[in-house]
Structure 1
Amino acid sequence: MRHALSAACAVLLACLTASCTDEPREASSDEQAGPEAQGADRYVEVDGARVRVREEGAEGAPVLLMMHGFTFSLETWDALAPLLTEDYRVVRYDLLGHGMTGPDPQARYAPEERAAFAGELMEALGIERAVLVGNSLGGLAAWRLAAMSPEKVSALVLIDPGAYPMNGTTEVPAPVPPMLAAYLRTVPAPAFEASIARIYADPSKVPEERLATLREMMRREGNGDAFVASLEEFTLPDPEPVLRTIEAPTLILWGTEDQIIPPADGARLAEVIPNATLVRLDGVGHVAQEEAPEEVAAAIEGFLRDANPGR
């Protein structure tokens, strides 16, 4: 059975080979510091981990729990979240080993562990049931949680989620190439810029301060080692037996210009998940919530009106 890195990591490795000509260096303490927590943020202790959480919107409204992608942080939802807070309680958090949550003392980085931890976080926050909104790695954890604990999930919104491997099925983690590990631990500017050119369909439209925040969050102390540890735990066994068990109505959003995970995967998922709808977003890359927030918000609102979860 062939081993395979995730699509995102394979593309990133190609970027590094082409662009990383300088010797990686350790980030300074100032560079590691990153943005300060916002006023709406709080930290929640969940089974030994201290998790940064941001909650916005009306108390008592249906909950949208947002889960970001690999190496990102809850700031990826900054453009989308305010568009949904009138009708929903929007809860977002930094995944274990990411953002200002930082490394997990128990190193729970495997996809199924991330899914289980999201359920534990819901319990810690007093959330009985939620609409899960996940991008990339966060989408992978979201659909796994929906299959694992259907009573917790009223609906699923998957934005370019992880599911299928690039080169076949693997139940054993692939070795992390040294060049990729060095990048994740240091995030040198040339390689970062090359990876951004693949993640976003048009990086010139992404505000400089957003890119600065992304890189600063990646360079926070301990996160690089956590990224590498995550890849060392990462597997993508055949997802379809699990996907077929998902009961929640599911919206799949996919950017037509995604260079990280093939857009064809969206159609595959829509065929396998029992109650799924696929919406293609023209001219959008891997992080639609940043590239087309109004379009994503409208799609989510229309989908949830029709699905009527928890109302």
Structure 2
Amino acid sequence: MKSAACLSAVLIAAMAIGLPGCASEASGPQTATASEAAAETRMVEMDGAQIRVRLEGPVDAPVIVLLHGFTMSLESWDGWAEQLSGDYRIVRYDLLGHGLTGPDPLARYAPDERVAVLGRLLDALDIERATLGGNSFGGLVAWRFAAAKPERVERLILVDSGAYSIYGVTEDPVPVPDAMRGYLLAAPLAGVQASAMQIYADPTRLPEGRIEQIQQMMAQPGNGEAFIGHLEEFVLPDPEVDLARVTAPTLILWGEEDRVIPLDHARRIEAAIPDARLITYPGVGHAPQEEIPAETAADVRAFIEGSGQ
């Protein structure tokens, strides 16, 4: 049995992209990022929730929908949006209980509920079919959606994605220790910085101010309670049958220095999905789209163009 402190660290990382930066009272970013200024950002109402969505790129271009990881926000994809929005319609959003979307009045935080919400959001945005990508927990939601709704997914891109059981999480959630609850509610700076060292192989690759930006998103009112609700419903049942149902051509991108999800899981996902290929990156951690956005976006472009737009 792991100690509460160890389990807290594990749960921060497990199926998440986790937590660089934090503070206790920030209410949100004070200035718009360059990508935000150049993009259309809207709030999509869904059963009382207001989901923050960002759209950029030509409206008639092939659509790429991107899902971030646990505790993060749509800014996790800024690098890819910069690299790809000249030729593709990039759509990304803050998951319920994250970023500026904030907590869900209906507390739809279980993985299957998030899959259903994704489908409804695509409907609201008049997106019938798209390339779907996700990092970590966002990858888990993406491939589950692709398995459930294959007619809606042109291609699938999984970046250090959740799938197989880790750290004791199976078809049953792992109890959330008090230390973890306190962390997510207060987001102490030292703890968030320590988590960044686990998530990113080289945090110096991140843009200046990225740590503070993540902190501000984590510290939005109600997000801490939503993070706890997420963990209380977070499960990882055996994925083999569902992965085998994914029919979309699939690109798997993985940092070889990922300390959250073992590299072996990338190979298992590749073997389980019928039409999948894997690219790994030496010296890169759990969020390659943030550490090496230009290189990973180039691989995405080659994948899409090679499989036909």
TM-score by length of structure 2 reads 0.90
Q: 1:297 maps to what in 2?
A: 297
Runs of 4 or more consecutive aligned structure 1 residues displaced over 4 Å after TM superposition: none
1:117/1:9 Cα in 2 relative to 1: closer, same or farther (>3 Å)?
farther
> Where do 1:90-105 residues align within 5 Å?
90-105=90-105
CA distance in 1, matches of 2:283, 2:9: 22
TM-score by length of structure 1 reads 0.89
Cα offset, 1:104, TM superposition:
0.7
> Where do 1:224-239 residues align within 5 Å?
224-239=224-239
Cα offset, 1:205, TM superposition:
2.6
Residues 260, 286 of structure 2: 8 Å contact kept: yes
1:87 aligns with 2:87: yes
> Where do 1:18-97 residues align within 5 Å?
27-28=24-25, 31-35=26-30, 38-39=36-37, 40-97=40-97
Worse overlay, 250-259 or 162-171: 162-171
Cα offset, 1:32, TM superposition:
3.1
CA distance in 2, matches of 1:165, 1:273: 17
Cα offset, 1:260, TM superposition:
1.0
CA distance in 2, matches of 1:153, 1:191: 37
Cα offset, 1:152, TM superposition:
1.0
Residues 175, 232 of structure 1: 8 Å contact kept: yes
Q: 2:221 maps to what in 1?
A: 221
Q: 1:141 maps to what in 2?
A: 141
Cα offset, 1:27, TM superposition:
2.5
1:175 aligns with 2:172: no
Structure 1 gaps, min length 5: 1-6, 15-24
SS where residue 79 of structure 2 aligns?
coil
CA distance in 2, matches of 1:304, 1:99: 29
Residues 122, 128 of structure 1: 8 Å contact kept: yes
CA distance in 2, matches of 1:183, 1:36: 26
1:106-131: CA deviations, max 9, x gaps?
11111111111111100000000010
Letter of the aligned partner of 2:24 in structure 1? Answer: A
Letter of the aligned partner of 1:213 in structure 2? Answer: Q
1:8/1:241 Cα in 2 relative to 1: closer, same or farther (>3 Å)?
farther
**How many residues end up aligned between the 2 structures?**
291
Q: 2:163 maps to what in 1?
A: 163
Worse overlay, 186-195 or 203-212: 203-212
Percent same amino acid at aligned positions? 51
1:13/1:160 Cα in 2 relative to 1: closer, same or farther (>3 Å)?
closer
Q: 2:192 maps to what in 1?
A: 192
CA distance in 1, matches of 2:169, 2:290: 30
SS where residue 156 of structure 2 aligns?
strand
1:234-259: CA deviations, max 9, x gaps?
01000111001111010000000111
CA distance in 1, matches of 2:57, 2:8: 32
CA distance in 2, matches of 1:278, 1:147: 19
1:35/1:132 Cα in 2 relative to 1: closer, same or farther (>3 Å)?
farther
Cα offset, 1:83, TM superposition:
0.8
SS where residue 27 of structure 2 aligns?
helix
CA distance in 1, matches of 2:229, 2:128: 31
Residues 147, 245 of structure 1: 8 Å contact kept: yes
Q: 2:17 maps to what in 1?
A: none
CA distance in 2, matches of 1:8, 1:53: 30
Residues 8, 260 of structure 1: 8 Å contact kept: no
RMSD value over aligned CA atoms?
Answer: 2.0
